Amino acid sequence: NINMDTKTADINKEEEFEQPKQRKALKRKMDVDEGEDDSKMEQMSSEKMDTVLKPAFPPLKKEKLADGTEIRKVPVPRHRYSPLKENWMKIFEPIVEHLKLQVRFNLKTRHVEIRTCKDTVDIQNLQKAADFVRAFLLGFEVEDALALVRLDDLFIDTFEVTDVKMLKGDHLARAIGRVAGKGGRTKYTVENVTKTRIVLADSKIHILGSYQNIAIARRAICNLIMGSPPNKVYGTLRSVAARATERF
């Protein structure tokens, strides 16, 4: 009887151990199925989110008027009203006579508006005229800004003194003074050596010239801002400019 009882107990134990295995297997299958369902649901939700979150931008429209003419508007800063008024005919003539465009100064919006007309030959002239007016409003002379109309490989680069070195108060004023020099001597020297035109407008610096010449002038100005003496900058400028001319 004891042997029979132990055998039945062993059988019962085996049965007890076997049953949970089957349940675990079932549970694992259920977990896998649930995991697949979750992944499918996540994919579906992500697809839905993509469709919802994707920005639907309409195609860009050119700034045109009702009759199909294109227009450019250049904002005029307050301190450039009187120079614009004095030099208006110098700006007006090349835009209207040479580029065959129409130009006006809108007194309400304070913008110089340039648009194409029936006589306009090349649509690129509109951008050239806008760049010409923008260069004048930045502070360049009309004759220098006019070079943007005549030549294709001229650009304007703008940066601030604080972009090179964080300066404040008297330190900033001294850095601007180093760039300008006594009576503008340093600025004129950099302009003549690099064949560029430079405008110092408070802490902003605008450089007009070809890409390579702008890079040379900008490096020289950055050295002056950082505190290099002008004589040292002149020497490096002349050697760099000589090398640049030898290449061409």
CA dihedral 186, 187, 188, 190 (to 10 degrees): 90
Identify the bridge partners of residue 112 per DSSP, sorted by sequence position: 74, 105
**Average pLDDT of 112-134?**
89
Q: How confident is the model at residue 228 (pLDDT cuts 50, 70, 90)?
A: confident
In whole angstroms, what separates CA 107 from the centre of its chain? Answer: 30
Structure tokens at 90: 């110098």
Q: What is the pLDDT of residue 42?
A: 63
Q: What is the pLDDT of residue 123?
A: 84
d(CA 171, CA 142): 33
Q: How confident is the model at residue 2 (pLDDT cuts 50, 70, 90)?
A: very low
Helices (H), 104-229: 124-138, 142-145, 147-150, 161-164, 170-180, 185-194, 211-226
Q: What is the pLDDT of residue 110?
A: 92
* Tally: H helices and E strands in the chain: 11, 6
- Please state the pTM of the whole predicted model: 0.67
pLDDT digits (tens, 9 = 90+) for 44-75: 666 655 555 666 766 655 555 556 678 889 99
Please name the residue that has the structure tokens 């110092």: 200
The answer, yes or no, to whether residue 125 has pLDDT greater than 90, is no
Please name the helix (run of DSSP H) or strand (run of DSSP E) that holds residue 159, with its range, or none.
strand 155-160
Alpha-carbon distances, residue 239 vs 29, 52, 105, 189, 216 (angstroms): 79, 59, 45, 14, 11
**Average pLDDT of 86-90?**
92
**Average pLDDT of 128-151?**
91
Q: What is the pLDDT of residue 104?
A: 92
Q: What is the pLDDT of residue 237?
A: 84
d(CA 74, CA 83): 15
Q: How confident is the model at residue 90 (pLDDT cuts 50, 70, 90)?
A: very high
Higher-pLDDT residue of 32 and 74 is 74
CA dihedral 206, 211, 214, 219 (to 10 degrees): 130
Average pLDDT, the chain: 80
% of the chain beyond a pLDDT of 70:
72
Q: How confident is the model at residue 119 (pLDDT cuts 50, 70, 90)?
A: confident
